[in-house]
Amino acid sequence: MSSLPSIGSSFFYSSAAASPPHLHAAPEDDALRLVIPSLSLPVVLPHPSPYGQILGDLKLLILGSKGIGKTTLANLLLESNDDIVHVSGWEANVLTASTDWVDHEDNAGLEKYEPAQNVQITELPGYDPQGDVS
C-alpha cells in the first residue's frame, strides 16, 4: 500500500471551485514583486538542400512582350522551390533569392547567418510586338 493519496481523492480533484488565497499585501510590498523576463528564441532557418549548397551564382534574364506574365513566371520559379531557403524580394526589376546561408561572426563574436543571395532574376521591360524594334 502506498502512503500517497489515490487519484480519486480530493487531493487531486475537488467538487467545489477553490477560492484564491486571501493575501493582505501592504502598498510597500509592490516593490518586492518578482519580474520574470521573457526570452525570445531565434528564428529557425530552413535547411539548404544539397543541390542548393553547391549551386553557386545563378543569374536569369526574362524577356517577353508586355502583359505576358514575366513577373508571375519569376515568382513561380522561386515559390515552393525546395532549393530556395530565402527570398529577399524585388528591388527595381531584380528578384533576389538564396539557396544557402553564409555564416560569420558579428561584432559581439556570435555566429550569424545571412542569405547568400546567389540567385538573381532580372526582368526586362516588356516590348510591344507590333512596335518598332529599333
133 pLDDT more than 90: no
Distance of alpha carbon 16 from alpha carbon 78, whole angstroms: 59
Alpha-carbon span 52 to 84, nearest angstrom? 7
Q: What is the pLDDT of residue 38?
A: 83
Question: Tell me, what's the pLDDT at 127?
Answer: 86
pLDDT of the residue at 24: 56
pTM (2 d.p.): 0.62
pLDDT > 50? residue 10: no
> Average model confidence (pLDDT) for the chain?
80
Taking the domains of the chain in order of start, what are their residue ranges? Answer: 50-123
Q: State how far the Cα of 14 lies from the Cα of 128, in Å rounded to an integer.
A: 79
User: Quick one: which of 73, 74, 96 has its CA closest to 85?
Assistant: 96
pLDDT in tens, 17-32: 555 555 555 555 556 7
Most confident of the following: 13-17, 117-121, 125-129: 117-121
% pLDDT > 70, the chain: 75
pLDDT in tens, 81-108: 999 999 999 999 999 999 999 988 878 8
- List Cα–Cα distances, 85 to 25, 81, 107, in angstroms: 54, 9, 25
Using DSSP, state whether 60 is helix, strand or coil: strand
